[in-house]
């Protein structure tokens, strides 16, 4: 039974966006985003009697996540977080782009109240469905007075927005926080904090106020054996406003690709380098190296560069 001292007085709002957690079918050939968020809540008996509200923001497979959904989700989160009676908000999401959404929301909102993303590796109809427990843990965390910021909870582990990454394509225990480890664990309705919660200054909704269809194009290019500058040149010609390079090892980039990226920078395009390694952060910045994204994965580095390009022009 949950320790009542760990519960905050207030409502937990659950925003649905689709994903495998709302999927139907077998464990591999399922269709994501088939069940409503209200149905997901109703399928977890332990949530009965809790102060909950549910709202459907989107219904997509998260591989198809869009800037427009991000914008709408951030707006709805800001609305609910501003309500005095709301203790926290849960977002049900697909696993494929969860880490990008987490970083986007943390940078835009940096909320004092918890925003808890959760997901599932098996559809709701699976014999191994992991969604119900993950949803229960997410509601528990969203109601816990010690939580803040945008986090993700899966398999009982709470991950921060900068560190969380999907490391495995099929296993139930698919997410990790790299060398830093999880922020907390949720076990049998109890939250045990392990390190500091995410914080920082919010960029604000005004940063993303423009029509999402007009947001600047930011693309990711990959360094690998035999790489050249053809993709960079094509993306620049297609209207890219910024580029992230997924480097090898410690963010290293093939010489031919590096030359093309240097030309793009000379033409005014910002470029960030990240690493394709599954853990750790880029260390150091040798002379002549491209600016580093540090601990951010290439996908999160793309989000960061996008948000920087959305900075309003100086008056």
Q: What is the mean pLDDT of residues 45-74?
A: 98
pTM, 2 dp: 0.95
> Is 206 among the domain residues?
no
What's residue 314's pLDDT? 54
> Is 210 among the domain residues?
no
One domain for residues 177 and 277: no
One domain for residues 86 and 34: yes
Q: Is 92 among the catalytic positions?
A: no
Alpha-carbon distance of 259 to 266, in angstroms, equals 11
- CATH number, domain with residue 305: 3.40.50.40
Q: Which two tokens stand for residue 70?
A: 């991000």
> Is 39 among the domain residues?
yes
Alpha-carbon distance of 236 to 240, in angstroms, equals 5
Give the other-Cβ count within 10 Å of 145's Cβ.
Answer: 15
One domain for residues 184 and 247: no
Q: Which two tokens stand for residue 294?
A: 């540090």
Last residue of a domain, one of 144, 159, 193: 193
- The answer, yes or no, to whether residue 140 has pLDDT greater than 70, is yes
Q: What is the mean pLDDT of residues 34-59?
A: 97
Q: What is the mean pLDDT of residues 114-125?
A: 98
State the residue range of the domain holding 45.
4-193
> Is 291 among the domain residues?
yes
Residue 42 neighbours by CB under 8 Å, 6+ apart: none
> Degrees (nearest 5) of the Cα angle 140, 25, 22?
30
Alpha-carbon distance of 64 to 67, in angstroms, equals 10
One domain for residues 170 and 222: no
Q: How do residues 9-31 score in pLDDT, each as one tens digit?
A: 699 999 999 999 999 999 988 99
Alpha-carbon distance of 28 to 171, in angstroms, equals 12
Last residue of a domain, one of 136, 159, 193: 193
One domain for residues 235 and 147: no
On whether the CB atoms of residues 44 and 132 are closer than 8 A, the answer is yes
3-state secondary structure of 246: strand
Residue 212 neighbours by CB under 8 Å, 6+ apart: 66, 67, 68, 70, 71
Count of domains observed in the chain = 2
Q: Which of 11, 17, 20, 140 is catalytic?
A: 20
Give 241's DSSP letter: S
> How many H-runs (helices) and E-runs (strands) does the chain carry?
7, 13
Computed over every residue of the chain, the mean pLDDT equals 95
Alpha-carbon distance of 265 to 221, in angstroms, equals 14
On whether the CB atoms of residues 97 and 55 are closer than 8 A, the answer is no
One domain for residues 297 and 159: no
On whether the CB atoms of residues 220 and 302 are closer than 8 A, the answer is yes
226 burial level (CB within 10 Å; 0-12, 13-18, 19+): exposed
> Is 42 among the domain residues?
yes
């Amino acid at each position: 039974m949950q320790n009542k001292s760990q519960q905050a007085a207030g409502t937990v709002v659950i925003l649905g966006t689709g994903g495998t957690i709302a999927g139907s079918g077998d464990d591999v050939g399922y269709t994501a985003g088939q069940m409503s968020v209200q149905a997901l809540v109703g399928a977890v008996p332990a949530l009965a009697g809790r102060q909950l509200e549910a709202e459907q923001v989107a219904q997509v497979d998260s591989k198809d996540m869009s800037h427009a959904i991000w914008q709408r989700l951030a707006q709805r989160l800001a609305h609910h977080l501003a309500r005095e009676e709301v203790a926290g908000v849960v977002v049900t999401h697909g696993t494929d782009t969860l880490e990008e959404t987490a970083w986007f929301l943390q940078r835009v909102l940096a909320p004092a109240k918890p925003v808890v993303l959760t997901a599932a590796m098996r559809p709701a109809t699976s014999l191994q469905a992991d969604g119900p427990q993950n949803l229960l843990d997410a509601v528990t965390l969203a109601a816990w007075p010690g939580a803040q910021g945008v986090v993700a909870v899966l398999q009982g582990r709470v991950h921060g927005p900068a560190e969380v990454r999907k490391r495995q394509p099929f296993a139930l225990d698919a997410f990790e926080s790299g060398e830093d480890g999880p922020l907390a664990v949720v076990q049998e309705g109890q939250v045990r904090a392990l390190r500091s919660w995410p914080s920082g200054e919010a960029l604000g909704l005004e940063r993303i106020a423009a029509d999402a269809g007009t947001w600047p194009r930011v693309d990711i290019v990959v360094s690998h054996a035999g790489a050249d500058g053809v993709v960079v040149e094509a993306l620049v010609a297609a209207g890219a406003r910024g580029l992230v390079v997924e480097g090898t090892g410690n963010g290293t980039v093939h010489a031919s690709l590096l030359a093309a990226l240097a030309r793009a920078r000379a033409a005014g395009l910002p470029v960030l380098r990240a690493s394709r390694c599954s853990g750790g952060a880029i260390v150091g910045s040798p002379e002549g190296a491209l600016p580093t994204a540090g601990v951010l994965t290439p996908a999160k580095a793309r989000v960061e560069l996008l948000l920087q390009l959305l900075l309003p022009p100086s008056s």
